[in-house]
Structure 1
Amino acid sequence: MFSIDAPPELQNTEFCNYRSPLSTRYASKEMQYNFSDQKKFSTWRKMWIYLAKAEKELGLDITNDQIAELESAVHDIDFTSAAEHEKRVRHDVMAHVHTLAERCPRAAPIIHLGATSCYVGDNTDLIVLRDGLDLLLPRLAAVISRLSKFADEYKSLPILGFTHLQPAQLTTVGKRASLWLSDLLMDERALSRARNDLRFRGVKGTTGTQASFMQLFKGDGEKVKALDKRVAELAGFDKRYIVTGQTYSRKVDLEVVAAISGLGATVHKMCSDIRILASRKELEEPFEASQIGSSAMPYKRNPMRSERCCALARHLITLYANAANTHAVQWMERTLDDSANRRLTLAEAFLAADATLLTLLNICQGLVVYPKVIARHIDQELPFMATENIIMAMVQAGGDRQICHEKIRVLSHEAGAVVKQEGKDNDLIDRVKSDKYFAPIINQLDKILDASTFIGRAPEQVIEFLDEEVVPILQKYKDSLVLVEKPVSLMI
């Protein structure tokens, strides 16, 4: 039988309990608070206040003193008492109703009046989702801002392009970064859409019919409708779901998690690219002066931040299936098999996304480019890529295309054999220079081999993309960027 082998004096400390690394290592204090018990249960209390205020406005016998008493207790939560009540009644909402009633005896008769558990639970979840997205979006904008500066700075620096992970036509460092940016802009759009599409559940009753509130207001449907609208307004929502079951549709969760999961896919792709480029020593994430890359190999500069992003991003990607399956099995007006799953899935989606964006921002704030390594790699491949240009130059100098093509083909295969079989540098250009057939264009070879002539409109594309696509998005976040773009310090 398993036993705790730590000394008795340590067994009740936090270090003998499981603690999520999202809390202890990765996510921000702000996002942790957003999913904390304090935020959750103080929001429940706010929901009871909104309900009482709206019911009073619409004619129910609720006093200002009762509301004031509730307002004085929003953050004053006796968690010990709540836990004792829940152990006895086996119901988290009623446990907190009793706890609040003990704190607010004058208001006790009107707490939770006409409501069901999902009134506080679901409406609070929607507030938490809204606030979580309001934290993520400026962080994403900060990443986009920093990466856009990087793309602009290196928009004209040639670098090998890759298709099938094999060297292909040249691109530029900035153009490649613009591809990452393009995906991030789609994530901003998806997250913004999810944020703006959020509505409030409001007051709907046990199966969504508002029957209990119809009874409270003696069959006055217009007052019940007004109550629903007013509570939503007090909670900061201008729209509410007109029809719900006992819960708001878990399709809402799916839409939010889908946007976050999509961000995970973007980050994984981007940071995988960075890891590959780091292995080629062409680009590197920040590496601090005292940072250790390996306990056994002192020379190593491992891309640990990018690897962390990929690890967290994979988790984000998998959470989509959880949200989809939870929605799929919500029979009729609701089942409770969503509860435990949502406690994990929603919190982890936001906490992991928050940690991922913080790490990605740190990476983007310190990306290092090594132009000489990039140029050396270009030199190893460019002679092969320049063969078509050499043929065209020979034709313009009076040569026969077919004869020239055959000569270049033979010389290219010879040079390729030297590279692959002997491990030597590409000597195709030396072979061309040594062949008298190519004498008419020898003085043009430097121009023909100028890497900047192989990048097409890449620099112009970056400029157009930044001006037309990126700048308008960043304008949305101009007031918050100052706060979230400050240098990020991470725990490794």
Structure 2
Amino acid sequence: MLTSAHSAAQNRVSLADAEPTIALGALDGRYRPAVAPLVDHLSEAALNRNRIHIEVEWFIHLCQQQVLPGLPRLTDEDIEGLRGIVTAFGPEEIAELGAIEAQTVHDVKAVEYFIARRLDGLGLGELKPLVHFACTSEDINNLSYAVGIRDAVQQVWLPAAAAMLEGLSALAEHAADVPMLSRTHGQPATPSTLGKEIAVFVHRLGRQVRRIEQQEYLGKINGATGTYAAHLAAAPDADWPSIAESFVEKLGLSFNPLTTQIESHDFQAEIYADIARFNRILHGLCVDVWSYISIGFFKQIPVAGATGSSTMPHKVNPIRFENAEANLEISNALLDALGATLVESRWQRDLTDSSGQRNIGTALGHSVLALSNVTKGLKQLDVAEQTIAADLDANWEVLGEAIQTVMRAEAIAGTPGMEDPYERLKELTRGRRVDAEKLQEFVGGLGLSPGAEARLKSLTPAEYTGLAAHLARRFG
């Protein structure tokens, strides 16, 4: 017997039938504003626009290269009209292409018919057989994806990473001189500065960005099994590898000269691995910043009107960094799966890559969303210098490292009584809190040279940061 609550649930209006359509995924719903720029490059509509772009440019290339007997050279007006098919691709054209695909049940063939419909109006109707000439679908698809991935990374992902790094670098500079107790294994350790620790992430993330900026994007256009068989059957005297190479390079891509039916996708696996590595480093930053917030090293600047907890009014939660952690994990799950799947194909072709590549936008979208959250989260941080200073001042025992190292140097210089420096400091400090008075008393009884004794007695935990500030400014 159904409960009243269960019965009521069964009678709800179906949200699947709502107009406009309600997004199933968070990226196209709640988080749409943060990832919307990717739609222009990696959505289904963008893929189809890129397919039209590739088909049109191949059409132009064949004409201008005069690869077939009887092909006319196109006028500037002809070329402008053909490229206008691409630039005019909007909502009405998306709907038209969808209707054609519903009949063809083949996305690339639908693109061919979509272009052919427009040639009569351009005065090029007799050249309809040239659309998709000697191409397999993957000739068009691989180039379309390569262009879309390149533009998404260069025009969306990299600017988002640069904006985040700019904020992170500013934080490193601002906190370069703020002495901080380090913690190795979660225990008090040799002090650093907050800025230097942030600068470590700036340096690591920047290195990954430079790798991604140098990425090669590969493409091919060599037929059904990568042999130019149909090309040679139609035009045996043409230098098809050179024609293909010049075409791919005109698209701003690097030419892959040897493939099966598909471009091998190795470049995709490379860039996904680099972005995933960037994501993992950024995830580490989020965890560290969250932890610093937890122990009070950072104060969060409240956002006017925002609620931290539905029941605890005092709370300002580090939600930006928590949100980023989750989205980086989702991004990496997809990037890792894509990188593993795309480099394999059964014999000359299977469709696993086709289904997998439809998730590229989602994979990059979660990374872009994380970058957006970290950028916003950094702007809401305020360095709590008094809390950091108090934490440091409560741990004078960290100077034990300095004392035993000076004792070693003194022993080498011939100062008597410097035996077993590490063991003597271990006995004094291990597992114990030592204040300034006890430490200075210990130093005074060691028999150090006057200069060394004076140097150690004047040392405080806040001053025991070595070159941290310099390193933060130079490399952060």
Give the structure-2-normalised TM-score. Answer: 0.82
Partner of 1:455: 465
The reply to whether residue 225 of structure 1 matches residue 235 of structure 2 is no
Q: Could you say if the C-alpha distance between residues 247 and 4 of structure 1 is closer, same or farther in structure 2, counting changes exceeding 3 Å? A: farther
More divergent stretch after superposition (265-274 vs 251-260): 251-260
CA contact (8 A) 2:342 2:356 kept: no
The separation in 1 between residues aligned to 2:211 and 2:417, in whole angstroms, is: 55
Partner of 2:251: 235
CA contact (8 A) 2:27 2:366 kept: no
Identical aligned pairs, as a percentage? Answer: 20
CA contact (8 A) 1:22 1:352 kept: no
CA contact (8 A) 2:269 2:340 kept: no
Alignment of 1:234-313 (within 5 A): 234-237=250-253, 239-284=254-299, 287-313=302-328
The separation in 2 between residues aligned to 1:228 and 1:4, in whole angstroms, is: 58
CA contact (8 A) 1:282 1:373 kept: yes
* Shift in Å, 1:81: 3.4
The reply to whether residue 138 of structure 1 matches residue 159 of structure 2 is yes
Let me know the Cα RMSD of the aligned residues.
3.6
Q: Which runs of 5+ in 1 are unaligned?
A: 417-425, 467-492
CA contact (8 A) 2:296 2:387 kept: yes
CA contact (8 A) 1:159 1:173 kept: yes
Partner of 1:129: 149
CA contact (8 A) 2:440 2:457 kept: no
Provide, for residues 7-66 of structure 1, a one-character-per-residue CA deviation record: whole Å limited to 9, x for no partner: 379823245451442564153332222113332222211212111111112223255576
Partner of 2:219: 200
Count matched residues.
445
CA contact (8 A) 1:285 1:368 kept: yes
The separation in 2 between residues aligned to 1:410 and 1:204, in whole angstroms, is: 74
* Shift in Å, 1:249: 0.6
The separation in 2 between residues aligned to 1:404 and 1:42, in whole angstroms, is: 72
* Shift in Å, 1:167: 1.7
The separation in 1 between residues aligned to 2:79 and 2:423, in whole angstroms, is: 91
* Shift in Å, 1:341: 1.5
The separation in 1 between residues aligned to 2:176 and 2:25, in whole angstroms, is: 44
The separation in 2 between residues aligned to 1:390 and 1:150, in whole angstroms, is: 32
The separation in 2 between residues aligned to 1:9 and 1:309, in whole angstroms, is: 29
Q: Could you say if the C-alpha distance between residues 376 and 93 of structure 1 is closer, same or farther in structure 2, counting changes exceeding 3 Å? A: same
* Shift in Å, 1:316: 2.5
Paired AA for residue 198 in structure 1: Y
CA contact (8 A) 1:250 1:326 kept: no
The separation in 2 between residues aligned to 1:128 and 1:404, in whole angstroms, is: 62
Partner of 1:73: 85
Partner of 2:63: 56
The separation in 1 between residues aligned to 2:261 and 2:182, in whole angstroms, is: 54
* Shift in Å, 1:4: 7.6
Partner of 2:3: none
The separation in 2 between residues aligned to 1:89 and 1:15, in whole angstroms, is: 25
Give the structure-1-normalised TM-score. Answer: 0.79
The separation in 2 between residues aligned to 1:407 and 1:122, in whole angstroms, is: 67
Partner of 2:27: 21
Equivalent residue for 2:172, pick from 148, 151, 160: 151
* Shift in Å, 1:433: 8.4
The separation in 2 between residues aligned to 1:243 and 1:301, in whole angstroms, is: 56
Partner of 2:43: 36
Partner of 1:372: 386
* Shift in Å, 1:285: 5.2
The reply to whether residue 118 of structure 1 matches residue 154 of structure 2 is no
Give the SS at the match of 2:218. Answer: coil
The separation in 1 between residues aligned to 2:112 and 2:310, in whole angstroms, is: 54
Q: Could you say if the C-alpha distance between residues 114 and 385 of structure 1 is closer, same or farther in structure 2, counting changes exceeding 3 Å? A: same
Q: Could you say if the C-alpha distance between residues 83 and 390 of structure 1 is closer, same or farther in structure 2, counting changes exceeding 3 Å? A: closer
Provide, for residues 205-248 of structure 1, a one-character-per-residue CA deviation record: whole Å limited to 9, x for no partner: 1111112222232x0242x23421332244233x3111122111
* Shift in Å, 1:389: 5.8
CA contact (8 A) 1:156 1:172 kept: yes
The separation in 1 between residues aligned to 2:291 and 2:299, in whole angstroms, is: 10
